[in-house]
Copies of this chain bind each other. A is one copy, B any other.
Amino acid sequence: MPIKRPPINSPSFFIGKGDGNDLISFGSGQPDLPPPNQIFKILPKFKDFKYGLIQGQLRLREELAKQYPRSNPNQFLITNGASEAITLVFRFLANKGKRVLLPRPYYYSYPHNAKYANLDVNYYDLVNGKIDLDNFKKNMVGCCAVMINSPSNPTGSIQEIPVLREIEKITQEQGMYIVSDEVYKDLIYERENYFFKGSHVITINSFSKTFAMCGLRVGYLYSTDQEVLDTCITYKTHLSMNTNILGQEMAYAALKAPKSYTQKQVAIWKKRRNLIYQGLVDLGLDLQKPEGAFYVFPKFENSSRVVNDLFYDYRMITYDGTWFGSPGRVRFSYALDVSKIKEGLRRLEAYMKKRGLR
């Protein structure tokens, strides 16, 4: 009897499956390294149980405000991960226009959230992971907002600072919002993150990647525009009330971790980045060298078949570029340890040899 191979057609197929049992997961985009100790130390004394402020615990917002020049705690809204922040912001944008500009490839939730908010979508196609400004300007016509995701999931690219400055300027001139998804802002190998400035900027961020707290679901949005805040808080009141108060306490504790926590992590990501990048190059694959986040995004013909074959025949989880608007590529998250990356590369080599792909 043949083994059943239900086709894999979305990341949901894998989420929560993790690795182990000889399964190697290059799938889910979550750090395997532990969060800072600080977040667990607060647990034994925790005793709260009542509703918190919808906007988020004040002391967490105060701490965040220290990270953003000239900001204040009222300019932050704590959310159930960056995902909820995106949901709220898109819903807000639906009051402002009919269409948003998204990158392609994109984080797979963007188009879904746009659709749920009744927003139509234009795309700007990244060229080898980078924004083509002419293409960007052509496609932003008729949009009320543009979405930027640097470093990018799934490409691992960062955008050039002059390009970001130009976008900051032209969107302001044209009265468009910038929604900047910066959940990987602390995982950049090449330079510091660039913060957009201006009242037309809505920054989305998360504790999930910087502090390895994915399962605890704490994110936030930051804006200097009071209307953005007020509207999103109202929506959140009816959507989910406050974000889990204990998650927020843990996020607050995470912000007290020493700088060295992040620096050490970035050093580890960089080593892994180099390993997997070189490994894939050595296999003859076509890809860009990631500059941030923890993804590589090599080209593969018939990426859907590759993802299915690798899972069913080689016990490897990878994500089909199709899910990110980019068929013909496969996303590998390298948030796993060196020995597993090496074993994964060996399996990939075996698969490619078998299929005559190298």
Q: Which residues of A contact B (CB under 8 A)?
A: 11-12, 15-16, 18, 28, 30, 34-35, 39-40, 43-44, 46-54, 80-81, 83-84, 87, 91, 109, 112-113, 116, 118, 212-217, 233-235, 237-247, 250
Contacts and interface: CB of A to CB of B under 8 A. Distances in A.
B213 A49 contact: yes
Given A46-B43, A238-B116, A242-B215, A16 B247 contact: no
Most buried by B among A49, A80, A84, A116: A49
A214 B50 contact: yes
Contacts of A109: 237-238
A83 B16 contact: no
Q: Can you tell how many copies of this chain the complex includes? A: 2
B49 A241 contact: no
A315 to B, nearest CB: 19
18 contacts: A12-B233, A15-B51, A15-B242, A16-B54, A18-B50, A30-B51, A35-B49, A49-B216, A52-B215, A80-B241, A87-B238, A113-B238, A113-B239, A215-B242, A216-B245, A239-B239, A244-B244, A246-B247
A303 B233 CA distance: 25
Given A44-B43, A46-B40, A214-B49, A241 B54 contact: no
A149 to B, nearest CB: 15
Given A84-B240, A246-B247, 10 more contacts: A15-B53, A16-B52, A16-B54, A48-B215, A49-B212, A49-B213, A83-B240, A112-B238, A217-B241, A244-B247
Contacts of A52: 16, 215
A198 to B, nearest CB: 27
A240 B118 CA distance: 18
A244 B48 CA distance: 16
A44 B47 CA distance: 12
Contacts of A112: 238
A84 B109 CA distance: 17
Interchain residue pairs A-B with the least CB separation, the first 7: A16-B53, A43-B43, A244-B244, A215-B245, A80-B240, A112-B238, A109-B238
Contacts of A34: 49
